[in-house]
Chains A and B, each alone.
Chain A
Amino acid sequence: MSMAILMDTTRCVGCQRCVVACKLVNGLLKSSPSDFLATDALQPLSPDTDLAMDESGDEELSAHALNVVQAHGSVYIRRFCMHCQDPTCVSVCPVGAFSKTPAGPVVYAEARCMGCRYCMMACPFGVPRYEWNRVWTPRVRKCNMCAPRMTKGLKPACTEVCPVQAGVFGEREDLLREAENRLRQEPTKYVQHIYGKQEVGGTSVLYLSAVSFEALGLPANLPHDALPTYTYRMLSEIPSVVTLGGALLGGIWWMTKRREEVAKAEKQERKAHP
């Protein structure tokens, strides 16, 4: 059972409620929480929840904005972690600070992280952000699909507060079927492609759009292979490199040494029997 989010950019009205809800549950609101809302990140939310909308408006992901709505002409797209099926960040992290949970979210363990930022380098979607100005405890920041809320049976905050169902939460298989239905029912409205179905081996965030995905800022040049396979192919050669290389070097050493000994012996022989 792997959960996912289906984003239909044709539905999004750019109201930014998802952005503020995300800040609320992640403790990123600049102002202290308003009178109407408790600080509890695990409270139920709904499209009617009163949110501090003056906190919206980030245009780019940052350490304080793990979820942003970007306007491309008249089309809005919400960008956040894609929660890949075979995540690049999980594969590259030397200390295993990232993991893909069976429920779907890709989560980060800050206690393990040593701050090498290879995850930021490697992420094909350019998602992870860094707390550059924290001196001793900088963290990598990204959406965790509200993994803590999911364990309580709650949906990701962004999908709960959406008034137009532009982002819906559900099982990935179901959402793929739903997306295919929408493409079939309105073939002229949509670009006939589900972004995230196959990109880098598939993601747990899926996009539908009426305009090209590239125009919405989603990378168009991604392979369908999961990127970790590119490096793992190399890494799995290590045992053979070590054994073959060791044998080869040992062999060369033995031969060159033997040759030297033979040469020495021949020289002595010649000296003894001129």
Chain B
Amino acid sequence: MSFSKLPKFTFWRGVLLVILSAGFYSSLLRFTKGLGAATHLTDHFPWGLWIGFDVICGVGLAAGGFTLAAIVYVFNLRRFRPILRPSILTAFLGYALVAVALLFDLGKPYNIWHPLVMWNPHSVMFEVAWCVMLYLAVLALEFSPAVFERFKMEKPLRLLEAITIPLVIVGVLLSTLHQSSLGSLFLIVPSKLHPYWYSPLLPLFFFISAVGVGMAMVIFESNLSARAFGREIEMPLLAALGRAMGGVLGVYGILRALDLWRRGALVPLREPSTETLLFALEIALGVLIPLLLLLVRRVRENRQGLFAAAVLVISGFLLNRLNVSITGLEYSAHAHYFPKWTEVSVTLSMVGIMFLCFALAARYLNVFEAD
């Protein structure tokens, strides 16, 4: 056997190998010693990285799928089609990651099917569970043409084409519901969540920022995959998307400012605190700076400029979700939480596996249709 058949050992493959080994050890720990041994979670801080990042950020980052599906099919802007399929794939992988993360985080993962039969329509979590489950199925169907094309299966392809529009509309509705509901999850902790982040408008903020970050993710992925697969980048398309993203950021920024002002939540800004620092960082990185960048046409239509704006929007989004689900709750819990390395390694492993799956799909399936 010749060694040339083995995959080449590159830097990034080495990094992935280290991450996956650590993740494997942490998974063993989680499923043989329990959550207590594998995490820094406590009675005072029952939700950590696996919920705050994997689930709450993960679902948001996958919002590019429904945003682009709506742009292409509902608004009939067909020119965005070339970047639709990679976005659907990313969304599908993102939601799959959420499902796997839940298996790690749930105390009794073998009961994950319970919401199917044990209903509590008063629970936001119940609604999220159903929406995520159904939307995962929708995403699988939306991406499946890539698989059917590969195996030249005409019948299912024709069937899927016939139901595309209803499928997309159902997907957009499900996304609208659960993207906003991730914010509603925190409506029930008015006395615990810091006033910077607690607002009756949380569901609306979560929805709008998900649309914004969905667009940022599409720009981000297009850049990465153009580099990785040596493809031309669809710059005019992405610039148009960047302009739309600027609009979304503007609406989001104005609404948040009005809400903060109306609730009088800006008073603590005068005292320096961890919360104030993180809040300022979130707003500056995720809203103000990218908005200014996107307002300038030269920046928007420049590959590096647009990429920078997208990266900023994504970082601000991550900060926002982690602030709502972790930092903003620390002050009332009188507890400090910082993830254990095992938690981090599981999360990184899942992100790594996502990249791997994307690369495999890009190699063996027709992900970039235009080519």
Contacts and interface: CB of A to CB of B under 8 A. Distances in A.
B80 to A, nearest CB: 13
Interface string B141-182: 000000000000000000000000100010011001100110
A241 to B, nearest CB: 6
B108 A113 contact: yes
A33 B191 CA distance: 41
B124 A242 contact: no
B43 A115 contact: no
A257 B76 contact: yes
A242 B190 CA distance: 27
A88 B188 contact: yes
Interface stretch (B34-42, B82-90, B227-235): B34-42
A253 B169 contact: yes
Interface string B16-60: 000000000000000111111100011110110000000000000
Given A221-B191, A230-B188, A238 B107 contact: no
A140 B224 CA distance: 44
Q: Which range contains the number of A residues in contact with the other chain?
A: 35 or more
B364 interface: no
Contact of B34 (A118, A138, A219, A245): A138
B192 A130 contact: no
A135 B43 CA distance: 16
B117 to A, nearest CB: 9
Interface stretch (A18-26, A121-129, A155-163, A164-172): A121-129
Given A222-B191, A235-B121, A126 B333 contact: yes
Interface in B241-261: none
B223 interface: no
Contact of A235 (B47, B127, B329): B127
B73 interface: yes
Interface stretch (A90-98, A175-183, A186-194, A206-214): A90-98
Contacts of A91: 120, 122-123, 188
A32 interface: no
A260 to B, nearest CB: 6
Given A92-B188, A131-B107, 11 more contacts: A91-B122, A92-B123, A94-B126, A115-B109, A117-B47, A117-B107, A130-B107, A227-B188, A231-B123, A245-B173, A253-B169
20 contacts: A91-B122, A94-B123, A95-B120, A95-B126, A112-B114, A135-B32, A135-B34, A219-B191, A221-B191, A227-B190, A230-B188, A231-B188, A235-B122, A238-B177, A241-B176, A245-B172, A249-B74, A249-B169, A252-B75, A257-B76
Interface of A: 61-63, 88, 90-96, 112-118, 120-122, 124, 126, 129-138, 219, 221-223, 227-228, 230-232, 234-235, 238, 241-242, 245-246, 249-250, 252-253, 256-257, 259-260
